[in-house]
Structure 1
Amino acid sequence: MACSRTCSRILGLSLGTTALFAAVANTLLLFPNWDVTYLLRGLIGRHAMLGSGLWGGGLMVLTAATLISLMGWRYGCFSKIGPCRRMLTALLSSGLALLGALICFITSGVALKDGPFCMFDVSPFNQTQAWKHGYPFKDLHNRNYLYDHSLWNSVCLEPSKAVVWHVCFFSTLLCISLLQILLVVIHFINSFLGLFCSLCEK
């Protein structure tokens, strides 16, 4: 049981740390090239504005991490909680963290598939020189911008290095959410073993 509680403390701290990193990564997506004007002008992509790293991989996971840590330290109302209630709380916290991490994972995956929101030249499509904001890489069905780095600086005109910013931080969110899912699975296994050991002791 002591081993299970120690594991809960470590998992709670780890999940809380990943939640903070997810929130920071999503916040930086709102300020491409450290410029606030794009946010003020409403020129931020829908995936970043959705904020799944803030409320999904961030707040939801942080709330679950707090519950897990409180159980590990047996703090407050968790000081004399029974094994069945502990397991129920573990299931609820795991479910909350898993949901938040999955939302962040799916949003980040879709964002990487669609590409960044930026200003690009639409003249190849309508034969007249014009620029607009949108998702230029969604129309490039025969070329994948993630592997073709020659497109990174030639398609998006503004903001500069929009593709690098987009790929960097959404890839970070994708990796963080994967790590969160792994930690949640470990927490569930740890909680189950803790319940089993507690019942065996009795």
Structure 2
Amino acid sequence: MACWWTCSRILGLSLGTAALFAAGANVALLFPNWDMSYLLRGLIGRHAMLGSGLWGGGLMVFTAATLVSMMGWRSRCFSKSAPCRSMLTVLLSSGLALLGALICFVTSGVALKDGPFCMFDVSPYNQTQAWKYGYPFKDLHNRNYLYDHSLWNSVCLEPSKAVVWHVSFFSALLCISLLELILVVVHLINSFLNLFCSLCEK
């Protein structure tokens, strides 16, 4: 039992920390090169504006982490609650964290696939020199920008280093949300083992 309380405390703290990092990474995506003007002009990609790292991998997971941490302290209300109530709290916290982390994971994966939102030259398509904001890497069916680093500085004209910024923070969100999913699974296994052991003791 003591192991379960300790595990819950560690898992709650780990989930809460991961949620804060996810929120921080999403905030950074709203300010390319730490420049606020892009956000004020509405020149931020839809994946970053969706804010899945803020409300999904961030707020939802942090709320679940708070519940998990509360369960880990014997002096709190969960320590003397009935098994059914404890399992309801476990399922609620796990479901909330699982949903938030999964949304963040899928959004980050799609964002990496589509590429950054930036200003690029459309002259190869219409034979006239013109620039516009969009997703230039979305139409490159025969080349993957993630592996072809020669495209990173040659396609996006503004913001500077848009590809590096996009790939860095969405990769971070992808890894953080994956870690959150793993922690939720560990929390579920830990909770079911605790319930099983409690029933065996009785």
TM-score (normalizing by structure 2):
0.98
Partner of 1:97: 97
Displaced runs of 4 or more, over 6 A: none
Partner of 1:83: 83
How far apart are the structure 2 equivalents of 1:198 and 1:2? 12
* CA offset digits 1:105-134 (Å, max 9, x no partner): 000000000000000000000000000000
Partner of 1:195: 195
Distance 1:75-1:42 versus aligned 2 partners, 3 A rule: farther
1:128 maps to a residue whose letter is T
**1:73 is paired with a residue of what secondary structure?**
coil
Bigger CA drift: 192-201 or 82-91? 82-91
How far apart are the structure 1 equivalents of 2:8 and 2:110? 32
How far apart are the structure 2 equivalents of 1:141 and 1:165? 22
How far apart are the structure 2 equivalents of 1:41 and 1:4? 50
2:160 maps to a residue whose letter is S
**1:116 is paired with a residue of what secondary structure?**
coil
How far apart are the structure 2 equivalents of 1:13 and 1:150? 41
How far apart are the structure 2 equivalents of 1:121 and 1:75? 62
The percentage of counterpart residues that share the same residue type is 86
Deviation at 1:79, TM superposition (A): 3.6
How far apart are the structure 2 equivalents of 1:22 and 1:7? 22
2:88 maps to a residue whose letter is L
| Structure 2 spans left out of the alignment, 5+ residues | none
Partner of 2:72: 72
Partner of 2:174: 174
**2:157 is paired with a residue of what secondary structure?**
strand
2:46 maps to a residue whose letter is R
How far apart are the structure 2 equivalents of 1:77 and 1:122? 61
2:185 is the alignment partner of 1:185: yes
How far apart are the structure 2 equivalents of 1:150 and 1:191? 49
1:95 maps to a residue whose letter is G
| Structure 1 spans left out of the alignment, 5+ residues | none
Aligned residues: 202
* CA offset digits 1:22-58 (Å, max 9, x no partner): 0000000000001000000000000000000000000
TM-score (normalizing by structure 1):
0.98
How far apart are the structure 1 equivalents of 2:152 and 2:74? 51
**2:80 is paired with a residue of what secondary structure?**
coil
How far apart are the structure 2 equivalents of 1:39 and 1:133? 13
